[in-house]
Amino acid sequence: MRSGPFFLGIAIVALGLLLLFFGTQTQTIDVPKTETKMLFDRSTLTVGDSAYRSADLMANLTVLCTGSVTIPASNESGDINLYVMDKANFQKWQSGDRSVNFVVQRLRTSQIDVSFVTVRADTYYFVFDNSYSTLFKKEVTFSVSYQYTTIHHETLEDRSLNTYGYPLIVIGAIVTIYGLARKAEVRWA
């Protein structure tokens, strides 16, 4: 028996067993997930002069608005002014002050397809203005949703070190058997 290869083989087998049984590493990572909530789902408004809907929104939300405008009696496409503004600017707009800072302003649009990000938590107003067209009322069908990102904690297991355990056990067993099978060298003979 050769003691060097024998003990080296035993050490390699022990290392392989340690990797096989204790090589799993776990870690927790933060995974962002985007969620969507509906504010208004296919709401319909008949707009003579103007109409609005309001919603209280938190900061840093992505708001998506879609919809269409028709003339109610004929079902033909119509157009309307769309404004989105916060509470302070909505009060200015209602009082007739036209120095309003709009979050969104689309003039004479027949298809609504806009998005914006809320800067701060506030009440936001979706205003449909038909005051420029006194002949026809307009019917607005629209949907508004918002998206926000949440962080979820996920635990992941990394088993890559376990895969090295089996080959090390096999190599260690071969080295151990080699150490047992070979006769020791006698140097003085």
d(Cα 43, Cα 53) in Å, to the nearest integer? 10
Q: Are 50 and 57 in contact (CB under 8 A)?
A: no
Amino acid at the residue 66: T
Q: Report the topology of domain 31-152.
A: Jelly Rolls (2.60.120)
Q: Express each pLDDT in 6-32 by its tens digit.
A: 888 889 889 888 888 888 888 888 888
Q: Residue 169: is its pLDDT beyond 70? A: yes
pLDDT (tens digit per residue) in 69-93: 998 878 788 889 999 999 999 999 9
Mean pLDDT of 95-101: 87
> To the nearest whole number, what is the mean pLDDT of the chain?
88
Position 57 confidence tier, pLDDT thresholds 50, 70, 90 = very high
Return d(Cα 171, Cα 178) in angstroms, integer: 11
Q: For residue 110, is pLDDT > 60?
A: yes
How many whole angstroms separate alpha carbon 145 and alpha carbon 37? 6
Residue 189 has pLDDT above 60, yes or no: no
Per-residue pLDDT at 188: 67
DSSP, collapsed to helix, strand or coil, labels residue 185 as coil
pLDDT at 176 over 60: yes
Summarised one tens digit per residue, pLDDT across range 114-162 is 999 999 999 999 999 988 887 788 899 999 999 988 888 888 888 888 8
**CA count, 13 A, side-chain hemisphere, 112:** 30
Assign 3-class secondary structure to 68-82: EEEECCCCEECCEEE
pTM > 0.75? no
Flag whether pLDDT at 187 surpasses 80: no
CB 65 within 8 A of CB 143: yes
Q: Please say whether the beta carbons of 29 and 156 come within 8 A.
A: yes
